[in-house]
Amino acid sequence: MTDAGGTWREAEQALQAGIDYERANAARIYDYLLGGACNFAVDREQAAKILTQNPDMAYVCRANRDFLRRAVEWCLSQGITQFLDLGSGVPTAGNVHEIALAQDPDARVTYIDFEPVAVAHAHEVIGGLENVSVTRADMRDPEGVLAAPGVHDLLDPARPIALLTVAVLHFVPDPELPAVLARYRAATAPGSVHVMSHGSADHDDPELAARTRAIQDGYRGSATEVVLRTREEIRELLGGLELVPPGLVDIVDWPTPSPGARPTGGYAAIARIA
């Protein structure tokens, strides 16, 4: 039997699909911390390690999910009804398309992820929805992503798009990442926005900084280790664009401060692309 409970034949098919049962993956760890079921024992073991390092991690994941909901709702309030979700992960309750379609049945959402379990489950979740697509692709290849049928045939480049990079960029160590993100933004119409959340240990509170570094330590040895960027480096990823108020703030404080809420150590922002 395999770790996922399948047969050896299923294990072979999984390996052919690119599923790695031996190393934990950020998408599946995140799914587990949110209470999902699309994860393996190796992911749960890594999650336990992360929680040992920082017991707040499950709280951080939920706070980030809440930020995603608020950001999508804000985009819709601005008339932005198209969403390109890079590194979308394993779908759980409160997916982008659920939030968007509940308010605008004509909204369009395309999910991009490289992790095969996340992609397979996403296909199951969206069923036959006409305005939602899932594409397995590497977000570091903007030309390939933008040319993929699930993106090219669904999103209208003449209309504003919300580029979503929520809790994903701190798993991308590529030094060319600013240029990669700039390419995506260059392909969008005026009125588009870039939505981001990103982990960081750059905080005035030394205890908060230490807790965030502990999360980074907890991911060591997984297939997706964490890169903690400074506030300046995160700002660089947004290309110097105008930030929607309140700017670059803790995830729990976007778009309005949340007095008494425990800070997460992650920053959130929405930048106006044009």
Q: What is the pLDDT of residues 161-196, one digit of tens each?
A: 999 999 999 989 889 999 999 999 999 999 999 999
Helix (H) or strand (E) holding 72: helix 57-77
Distance of alpha carbon 135 from alpha carbon 150, whole angstroms:
6
Distance of alpha carbon 96 from alpha carbon 87, whole angstroms:
12
pLDDT digits (tens, 9 = 90+) for 189-236: 999 999 999 999 999 999 999 999 988 888 888 878 889 999 999 999
Q: With contact defined as beta carbons under 8 Å apart, do 162 and 74 qualify? A: no
Q: Of 74-83, 123-132, 165-174, 206-215, where does the model show the most confidence?
A: 74-83
State residue 93's pLDDT score.
67
The residue count for the chain: 274
Confidence of residue 16 (pLDDT cuts 50, 70, 90): very low
Domain with CATH 3.40.50.150 in the chain: 57-272
Residue 15 has pLDDT above 80, yes or no: no
Burial (CB < 10 A; 0-12, 13-18, 19+), residue 30, is buried
Total-model pTM: 0.87
57-272 has CATH 3.40.50.150 classification: yes
CA 90 vs. chain centroid, Å, equals 10
Handedness of CA 127, 101, 151, 155 (dihedral sign): positive
Burial 5-24 (b: 16+ CB within 10 A, else e): eeeeeebeebeeeebebeeb
State residue 18's pLDDT score.
61
